[in-house]
Amino acid sequence: NISCLSCSGSRSSKTFKPKKNIPEGSHQYELLKHAEATLGSGNLRMAVMLPEGEDLNEWVAVNTVDFFNQINMLYGTITDFCTEESCPVMSAGPKYEYHWADGTNIKKPIKCSAPKYIDYLMTWVQDQLDDETLFPSKIGVPFPKNFMSVAKTILKRLFRVYAHIYHQHFDPVIQLQEEAHLNTSFKHFIFFVQEFNLIDRRELAPLQELIEKLTSKDR
């Protein structure tokens, strides 16, 4: 049971961010329900497609919030294994290392441990999602012109958390019997970013083999 794992007291609650809720009764909530229903059909390629007559920005916004919540929960289950000692740098295997910069508070990329990096990353994403000028939750409030580029940056960074979990913490994922959950979540994420061309192929390189394996069955 994921919810039990993710609220175990021993884990630092710092990196585990509060779930971002989409207001009930809103159009975005309806879209989220639609997404959940189509996901239930098991066809992920169909589930990520823009529903007929819907606004692409709104569809990307709803799904970005959903992926933030999923990754937040998945990472929350393995934080005991992701420590300053075990992960002194934020990496995805030996070839890929990430340094943090957000362009405002930290302009020059800094080298930091994986838990610190992921804390910066998830806090930054949460701030973007909570910004009503970027992610308007009220009907009729338009999305800003730069919305898509912000969403792309968020998704590019969230991908790095998946990449870190797969490369550095896959054993605990298997021990916790989370493998199927992680794979389904990641597959959904990949189909979504592929459908709307949201992450540059170069950025996906750390998990390229896995992406090919997970997506080849569904072509």
Please, what's the largest Cα pairwise distance for the chain? 50
Tell me the DSSP string of 152-192. Answer: HHHHHHHHHHHHHHHHHSHHHHHHTT-HHHHHHHHHHHHHH
Instruction: Determine the 3-state secondary structure of 100 from DSSP.
Output: strand
110 forms bridges with which residues in the sheet? 100
Q: Residue 197 carries which DSSP code?
A: T
Instruction: Tell me which residue of 96, 55, 75 sits closest to 13, measured CA to CA.
Output: 75
90 forms bridges with which residues in the sheet? 98
Question: Is the CB of residue 12 less than 8 Å from the CB of residue 79?
Answer: yes
Question: Is the CB of residue 90 less than 8 Å from the CB of residue 164?
Answer: yes
Annotated binding residue 112: no
CA angle 131, 75, 85 (to 5 degrees): 115
Annotated binding residue 164: yes
Binding residues for Zn(2+), as ranges, are 82, 87, 164, 169
Per the annotation, binding residues are: 82, 87, 164, 169
